[in-house]
Every structure is written in structure tokens, then in C-alpha cells.
Structure 1
Amino acid sequence: DIYIGAAAISDYRPVEPAAQKIKKHADTFELQMVKSPDLLATIAALDDGPFTCGFAAETEKLEEHATSKLERKQLDMIIANLVGANLCFDADDNEVVVLWPGGRQPFPKLSKQELARQLVESVASRYRARSKVRS
């Protein structure tokens, strides 16, 4: 009923996967990559698919980039946060903004554990709201 895409599985993959270990022969190594299919967008596009929630970790223009991703992937909800020095990955606390078509809810700086609890409640609330509209 709910799919939360907390991270891309892999944005890119090798064009030609190696059949065996690549031996170290030179000082440099070139690897050609190709864009991987977008699992979150694929799931969001399913007929009668689950409620989809994605994440957007951005270094700038947080809401602009997150809104673009929300619309482009046709998600029900996206959780957006800035990354950088002492933000997101390098900290015990975090603050985010949750966006959905026609709405937004900022969450102040909280411990990641408390923030996770509140985000689960937010996802459940938006899911229930979507379910009422579809009924």
C-alpha cells in the first residue's frame, strides 16, 4: 500500500559489466556508465499503484528541486533536506520539509529518531487523505 524510496538503488550502472575481477594493470581506469531505470518513478506510474514517498537530498534550491522531482516522478509525497557541512549525513539531528501536490509541512531540527517517528506519522496521514479521495 505504501512505498518509501529512501534512496536510489543506483543512479548509474556500468555499460558492460565485467564477467570477472578486473585486474590492476594501469595507473588509470575508465568505466563507462549508463543511467539506470528509476525504480521510484516506475512504481509511482503503476496503475492503482501504492502511495509513493521519495526523498530529495539537495545542496541548493531545496524546495525548487524537490518540487520538480515530486512532479516529474508523479509522487504522492517527497521528504526534502539540505545536505552539507553538519547537515543531514554528518549530524545526529536533521530538519526537513515534506511536500505533496498542493501542500507542504516543514519539520524543525529534531533528533533523527524523533524526526523519523514524526515522518512516519506524516506519511500515514497523507496516505489516509489520498485513500479518502480515491474512495
Structure 2
Amino acid sequence: MADSHHSNGPGKSVFGIGQRIVTIMVDMVETRLRLAVAELEEEKANLFQMLLMLGLTMLFAAFGLMSLMVLIIWAIDPQYRLNAMIATTAVLLLLALIGAVWTLRKARRSTLLRHTRNELANDRALLEDDERE
């Protein structure tokens, strides 16, 4: 009578298959979550580094350019000071544009959860292939 709980038959095989499927699914979800967490940590560090680089660049550029402007204005004859200020302003705007383009390129290269999305796409493709068969 005690052996009735451990019956051998088609039900046990189905239960074993179901248990294997659930185990595989849990392992897949755990792997994907670990990958997502690792990528989020990497992106956080990358974003912090970019903000720090941008802040330091802006600070040093601002002080350097202010000093350069004062030096240029003092060194030029009073009759040419207006032309010197126009040229300096044009150069500063050009440098600001170059810095903005560089920052945008760096920001676009960073893709959030790229590997996780690739793995989820692979999983979806595998599941769709299994459904077709």
C-alpha cells in the first residue's frame, strides 16, 4: 500500500518531463537576470565615467579659455580688440561643437543591456523553432 504513492507509469514520465522543463526555465531566467545585473553595473560605471570626464573637461576648458581670452585681450592693441573677441568667440563655439559631437558619439556607442537583449532574442527564436516543429 505504501508503494501506491510511487507508482510507475505514464504519469511519472510526464511529471519528470514537466519538472525538467521547469528546472530548465528557472535556470534560464536566473542566467538572464544575472546577465542583466552585470550589464546594468557595467553601464552604471560607464555612465559615471562619462559624466566625470565631461565635468572635468568642461571645468578645465572653461578656466583655460577664460585665461586665454584675458591674455589675448591684454596683448592686442585697443583698436583690434573687437576683432580679437570675435575670433575668440568663433573658436570657442567651434570647440564646443566638437565636444558636443564627441560626447554624442560616446553616448550612442553605449547600448543598454545589449547582451541580455541578444540572449532573449536567441531564446525567442529557439522557442519559435520548437513550436514550428
Q: Normalised by the shorter chain, which TM-score bucket?
A: under 0.3
Normalising to structure 1: TM-score of the pair? 0.26
Say which one has the larger Rg: 2
Normalising to structure 2: TM-score of the pair? 0.26
Higher RCO (C-alpha under 8 Å, 6+ residues apart): 2
